[in-house]
């Protein structure tokens, strides 16, 4: 079973975590099921950037992003070449290490 390794995040996961991940689940769903309350303002339909993560290891094991996700990511705070929307990133057979950025841009709140 693959593992989702979450690097420490000051508010959401101060000590980091290693989570047993289910193949076929999104990174976002895996985080939420394990009480890491990542924002997901659009209810996981790829219409915001609040669930943005940076995939530090295992980026190439995820299915590629589509044009809609790429367009949304262009609006994300702290964009990186290894950025993904966690709601669109489906876990496969391999371990993945992620960093949750310090800030999010929530257009619904602003």
CATH (domain of 26): 3.10.20.30
- Per-residue pLDDT tens digits for 56-72: 999 999 999 999 999 99
DSSP SS3 for 3 = strand
For residue 20, tell me if it sits in a domain: yes
For residue 32, tell me if it sits in a domain: yes
For residue 67, tell me if it sits in a domain: yes
For residue 17, tell me if it sits in a domain: yes
Half-sphere exposure of 103 (CA within 13 A, CB side): 7
pTM for the model stands at 0.93
- Per-residue pLDDT tens digits for 13-23: 999 999 999 99
Which residue in the block uniquely carries the two structure tokens 């964009």?
79
For residue 8, tell me if it sits in a domain: yes
For residue 110, tell me if it sits in a domain: no
- Given a contact cutoff of 8 angstroms between Cβ atoms, the answer to whether 37 and 50 are in contact is no
Average pLDDT, the chain: 93
For residue 13, tell me if it sits in a domain: yes
- Look at the chain and report how many structural domains it folds into: 1
Instruction: Tell the burial category of 31 from Cβ atoms under 10 Å away from its Cβ (0-12, 13-18, 19+).
Output: buried
In whole angstroms, give the CA distance from residue 84 to residue 52: 6
Range of the domain at 34: 3-98
For residue 27, tell me if it sits in a domain: yes
């Amino acid at each position: 079973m693959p593992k989702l390794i979450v690097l420490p995040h000051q508010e959401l996961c101060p000590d980091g975590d290693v989570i047993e991940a289910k193949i076929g689940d999104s990174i976002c769903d895996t985080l939420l099921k394990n009480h890491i309350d990542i924002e997901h303002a659009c209810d996981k339909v790829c219409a915001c950037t609040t669930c943005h993560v940076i995939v530090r290891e295992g980026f190439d094991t995820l299915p590629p992003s589509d044009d809609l996700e790429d367009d949304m990511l262009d609006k994300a705070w702290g964009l990186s070449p290894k950025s993904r929307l966690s709601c669109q990133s489906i876990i496969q057979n391999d371990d993945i290490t992620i960093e949750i950025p310090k800030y999010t841009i929530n257009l619904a709140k602003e």
